[in-house]
Amino acid sequence: MPVRDAEVADIEEICALIEEHARFEGNDSLVLDRVEMTKHLFGPEPKAWVLVASPPGEPGAVAGLAFCSWNFSTWEGQPGIWLDDLYIRPEHRRHGLGGELLAALRARTTGRVEWDMQEGNDKAAAFYAQLGAEPVPGWIRYRWSPGRG
């Protein structure tokens, strides 16, 4: 199977993929601190976790990732998964790796799997619809950043 849990040895690829995704989305300045990310993902109290996908025929290579954390729905009374980042390197797209990553997430919970999508990303919207995922009507995401308020 081309999808597996990330390991400490994957930290450089994880950070590189996140930085590549940022550049793909127009953020040319993101540079992650590898030591901090290692602590957050693999330290004694991990705050998030990552699945990595390998391209067909290249089991050691990393073609993409799903960067996740657990959440909890009080209305459903069970945990779910928050997908913060799903990214497949452009040269490895159209091999089903995004679907494999999402299927692996779906298999880890009977609760919700939720994520944000940038408005206007028609290709992603079509991909998610093909999986049976739908936008959440009537909800607006808020963000409260440090130093505000």
Sheet holding 78-88, edge to edge: 3-5, 49-53, 64-73, 78-88, 113-115
Across all residues in the chain, what is the average pLDDT? 93
CA distances from 22 to 31, 48, 80, 111, 134 (A): 9, 18, 25, 29, 24
Please give the pLDDT value at position 43. Answer: 96
Residue from 19, 14, 81 nearest 52 by CA: 14
Tell me the domains of the chain and their CATH numbers. 3-131 (3.40.630.30)
Instruction: Give the three-class secondary structure for 26.
Output: coil
Separation CA 79–CA 102 (nearest Å): 16
Residue from 137, 64, 71 nearest 104 by CA: 64
Active site annotation includes 128: yes
Separation CA 34–CA 40 (nearest Å): 10
Q: Which amino acid is at 117?
A: M
Specify the pairing of strand 64-73 against strand 78-88: antiparallel
pLDDT > 70: percent of the chain: 98
Q: What is the pLDDT of residues 22-57, one digit of tens each?
A: 999 899 999 999 999 999 999 999 999 999 999 888
Beta-bridge partner residues of 99: none
Please give the pLDDT value at position 149. Answer: 61
Stated as kind and residue range, the H or E segment containing 130 is helix 122-131
Question: What is the value of pTM for the model shown?
Answer: 0.90
Specify the pairing of strand 49-53 against strand 78-88: unpaired
Single out the catalytic residue among 84, 111, 128, 131: 128
